[in-house]
Structures are given as structure tokens and as C-alpha cells.
Amino acid sequence: MTEASSSTAAAAGRSAGYVQSLERGLAVIRAFDAEHPRLTLSDVARRTGLTRAAARRFLHTLVDIGYVDADGRLFTLRPRVLELGYAYLSALGLPDIARPHLERLAAVLGESASASVLDGTDITYVARVAAQRIMSVDLGVGTRLPAYATSMGRVLLAGLPEAELEDHLGDLAPLTRYTITERSHLLAELERVREQGWSIVDEELEEGLRSMAAPVRDRTGAVVAAVNVSTAARRGSVTTMVDDVLPHLREAATAITDDLAASR
């Protein structure tokens, strides 16, 4: 990095070792998602804010190293991009530890069970056992959802130090007519989650969907992940879910916490 670029990075709040081209290359990869699996050069430039010339260079580099496929004017991600996520998940160890507990939880309750971690303003699924499909979005490992409107997200947000919380809230856009969008209301809900040690979200992410989550902690007691159970809201009341699901959910979260501590 040149002295000038180092000064620019420092001025932008970046470290002296910041490499802008790496950030831009990752931005090109992130331009593709479930709603935009095939993009033209112009699409990529628009979604990343890069010039067409820069977008072209990054796309062709990614094609050359096997992360992107080119078919005429259209570009798509190749399966090799999964290596980027798998490297993180393998190092974390959480998916392998959580999965048998999620399988037992899903079997006992007959409902889908998942584990996630906080990533910016989103949660990222790191393990999931689907008993049935109850959402319009097909969830799987790597799926990202807004933290503020999910039960796992609220458990993870509630576990943050107060000084870090604001950076992880993002825009509180209404996803359904029930979504909490008032910041003060959400902060009060997070305080309640912090005190009771679990969260329930009732049709705020998607109408007809209810979910309950509990924290997974490290050896110091810090919240490092969350596990949840999702069900159709029509299956019973919130009170019924608390009575019937919460004890099993807490048991699974405690077992994952214990196994995670024993593995490190």
C-alpha cells in the first residue's frame, strides 16, 4: 500500500493494512443473492457502485479463479464460493456441535430447529434441521435474516454490550403488520429478552410464523450463538408455546453451550 493510499484508509477509519481491492472483490460476490442469481456486467456495477471497467476486471478475475461462471452477458456464482463460508463454519465448530442437539429437539417437538450467529445487522444460519417448510423463504445454512425481527436475532442483540448494540440494529423496516419498528419499543423488548433469557417473535418476520429462541454461551458467559424453534402460529397460543417448547429449547441450548465449552 502506498503512503497516499495508507493516508486515505486512515482518513476513512480503515487500518493501515486495508486493501480496497479485496473489499471490492467481495462486494462483487455479495451482489449475487437469491433474488439476483444471474447478473449482467451493468447489474454488478450498479449493485456495487463500481464503474463498469472495475466491475469487469473483478468479474473476469473471479471467473478465472473459479468463483464465478460467465454465460454470454450473464454471470452467476459457482459452487466454489461455498468454500469461503465453509472455512468459517469449520473453524467455528458450532455447526457440528449443534446439529445432533437440533436433531433431537426437532424430533421431540416435530418442528424445525436452527442455530445462528450475529453478523452485522443480520443473523446467519449455521445449522438447521427442517421438520417441515413453514416459511415462504427456503432457509438453509448461510441464510441471512434481519436480526431485529427474528427470535434468534433478539437473543443475540440482547447479549451484546450496550455500546455495541446500536451498530447491529440497522433500519427497522416493517416486514409484516406486526413487526416492531419503534426503536424504543425494540430496546424495551431486548431488555425483557435479556432479563428472561429467551425470546419469542410472533408473526413479525413473516405472517403465520412464530419462533422462540434461547442463547448459546461461551465459557465466559457471553452469548455467541442462538438456537430456535419455528412453528406455524395457528398451531397454538404463545402461552402454549412457552409451556410446551421453552423447556426443551433451553435444554438444547444448555447442552450446546456445555459441548462448545468442552471442545475448546
Cα end-to-end distance, the chain, whole Å: 37
pLDDT(137) > 60: no
Query: 196, 191, 248, 259: which is closest to 224 by C-alpha?
Result: 259
CATH 1.10.10.10 in the chain, residue ranges: 3-77
What CA–CA distance (Å, rounded) separates 81 from 62? 10
Q: Tell which CATH architecture fits domain 3-77.
A: Orthogonal Bundle (1.10)
Instruction: Give me the residues paired with residue 202 across strands.
Output: 210
Long-range contact list for 186-194, CB < 8 A, 24+ apart?
186/148, 189/154, 190/154, 190/157, 190/158, 190/165, 191/158, 193/154, 193/155, 193/157, 193/158, 194/158, 194/159
Task: Give pLDDT, residue 1.
Answer: 40
Scored b (16 or more CB within 10 A) or e, 16-48 reads eebeeeeebbebbbebbeeeeeebebebbbebb
Average pLDDT score over the chain: 87
Q: What angle do CA 71, 77, 79 make, to 5 degrees?
A: 115
Task: Give pLDDT, residue 92.
Answer: 59
pLDDT(140) > 80: no
What CA–CA distance (Å, rounded) separates 80 from 84? 8
- Model-level pTM? 0.68
Q: Kindly state the average pLDDT of the residues 62-90.
A: 84
Lowest mean pLDDT among 67-71, 78-82, 126-130, 210-214: 78-82
The answer to whether the CB of 108 falls within 8 A of the CB of 248 is yes
What CA–CA distance (Å, rounded) separates 165 from 56? 37
CATH 3.30.450.40 in the chain, residue ranges: 84-262
108: cell is 421431540
Q: Kindly state the average pLDDT of the residues 117-145.
A: 79
CATH no. for 84-262: 3.30.450.40
Task: Give pLDDT, residue 6.
Answer: 39
* Residue 162 or 210, more confident: 210
* Residue 81 or 50, more confident: 50
Q: Is 211 helix (H, G, I), strand (E, B) or coil?
A: strand
Write the DSSP symbol of residue 178.
Answer: T
Place of cell 493494512: 17
Place of cell 450496550: 162
